[in-house]
Chain A
Amino acid sequence: MSTLAHVFEAEGIATVALGSIRKQIEDSAPPRGLWCDFPLGRPLGKPGDPEFQHRVLDAAFALLNATEPVLAEFDEPIPDDGDEMLACPLPPRHDPDAHPAIDEARGLLAAYDRGVEMSDGRFSAGRVVPADDIPAAIEAFIRISEGTPWAEAGIPGLPMRVGHDIRSYYETAALAMVDHAPAAWASTRWFLDQTETGKVMMAARQAMQDQDAPQPMWFYLTPGDR
């Protein structure tokens, strides 16, 4: 982000860079930087709140009046202490012969479809695994969690990419079941801590680590602090 600010200014375009990580924006020192202490992924702060977003933009564009490099701080931080989680309902068991995670994923397909419609697919699955194939992709991670070597489990693509689609599938389904903007990370926490598939992904990640899989293969299956 700040690299682009330096490059664009050198090409004759004035820039204002928003930054969510204080140390990064301080170290990289863009010509005009506004540190906004917002959750990662939300540089304008609050989804569905145009007034708040305008306050961020007003503060950002005010830096264009500076006559020398400047780093400012937006004065309405949005703290995230990791204590908010969506309380999404999960579908009841439909096929008792199926693994609970598979049954759960199949049962969320309708909610997923609605979530895609609501969000225009902005953060949807399907980049490597189509939504209809998500249960089969989850099955590969079930096998890993049960002891199958990760490279023989049939993951339909790079693990991080497949894991991305699985997480997006669940979070898009969750979006369809709320009528408000979820707090940052609330749907991720719901996925990882409340769903059967989340438990599978955490177990598979640990199994891959125990199998000495290359670190990028398992590390990026979840946010890095997991």
Chain B
Amino acid sequence: MCSDDVDFSRSQGEATSHLPITTACSIGVVMASSNSFTLMADSDIKALTEALPGESFETTAFTTPPPLADATVAIVTTASLHHPDQDDFEVMDTGYRVLDDSRRDYVTGHWSPNFDGSGFAYDMNTVFPVDRLDELAERGVIGRVADQHLAYAGNQFDLSAIRMDSGPAGARFLRDQGVDVVLLTPV
């Protein structure tokens, strides 16, 4: 369902342009017949990425955390999030941005067209669940939420720099903040 009217007017300095409103907002979801549109499905896009080679690790490191109720938890996302006053992510940017838990002005710097951005736009917790972690901390499920989180860019063709350089650096940064557990979220 939707709001009643669509106002296509916009104040432009002193002048305000008003376009005639002839269309009521009828936002909803329509079921498109398969022969009327060329629709894409999420599964099709996933299929395109399935064949991409990933990094392989000869051994799997495994760290045993303290009890969750005592643990400091951070989020590390590959959604290229950053604060507006930080540098945007470049294409193939292998660095990371430090995200302040006390702020909520997170924007995405991901360049790939192959993910839905509307979920994050509508609710940041869809990608970066800081509000949910706060609630878990209030309930005592987790010890505390870290003061800082990290964001990387996930659309990489060569992961060696992240594996050898910025990944370990980010981990050490969080470890120095007392982080015990990291939740990793992609887009």
Contact = CB atoms under 8 A, between A and B. Distances in A.
A119 B124 CA distance: 9
Nearest to A182: B118
A72 B2 CA distance: 38
Counting chain B CB atoms within 10 Å of each CB, the highest count among A28, A171, A225, A226 belongs to: A225
B129 A57 contact: yes
A89 B25 contact: yes
A29 to B, nearest CB: 6
A214 to B, nearest CB: 14
Interface in B157-187: 159, 162-163, 167-168, 170-172, 174-175, 179-187
Interface string B55-69: 111001111110010
Contact of A225 (B32, B40, B187): B40
Contact of B9 (A15, A24, A110, A220): A110
Contacts of B162: 3-4, 7
B4 to A, nearest CB: 10
Nearest to A46: B126
A40 B115 contact: yes
B41 interface: yes
Contact of A13 (B6, B49, B54, B171): B171
Interface string B107-147: 11101111111111111111101011101100001100000
B25 A177 contact: yes
A171 B118 contact: yes
B57 A6 contact: yes
B44 interface: yes
A97 interface: no
Contact of B117 (A54, A168, A220, A222): A168
Interface residues of A, number: 109
A172 B76 CA distance: 25
Interface in B16-38: 19-32, 34, 37-38
Interface string A1-28: 1111111111111111111110110011
B1 interface: yes
Given A14-B63, A18-B184, A47-B122, A8 B167 contact: yes
Interface string A129-169: 00000000000000000000000000000101101100110
A170 to B, nearest CB: 11
Contacts of B179: 13
A28 B54 contact: yes
B113 A160 contact: yes
A66 B28 CA distance: 43
Given A44-B125, A121-B84, A9 B186 contact: no
Contact of A122 (B6, B50, B68, B121): B121
Contacts of A46: 126
A96 interface: no
B184 A119 contact: no
B54 A27 contact: yes
B86 interface: no
Given A16-B181, A174-B118, 10 more contacts: A4-B78, A14-B181, A24-B50, A43-B185, A47-B125, A64-B68, A83-B31, A89-B27, A122-B120, A161-B111
10 contacts: A24-B50, A41-B116, A50-B131, A54-B136, A85-B37, A120-B105, A121-B107, A179-B27, A223-B113, A225-B47
Please provide the 10 A-B residue pairs with the shortest distance between their CB atoms, ordered closest to farther: A82-B41, A41-B115, A110-B10, A14-B65, A80-B42, A11-B171, A41-B116, A47-B123, A7-B167, A89-B23
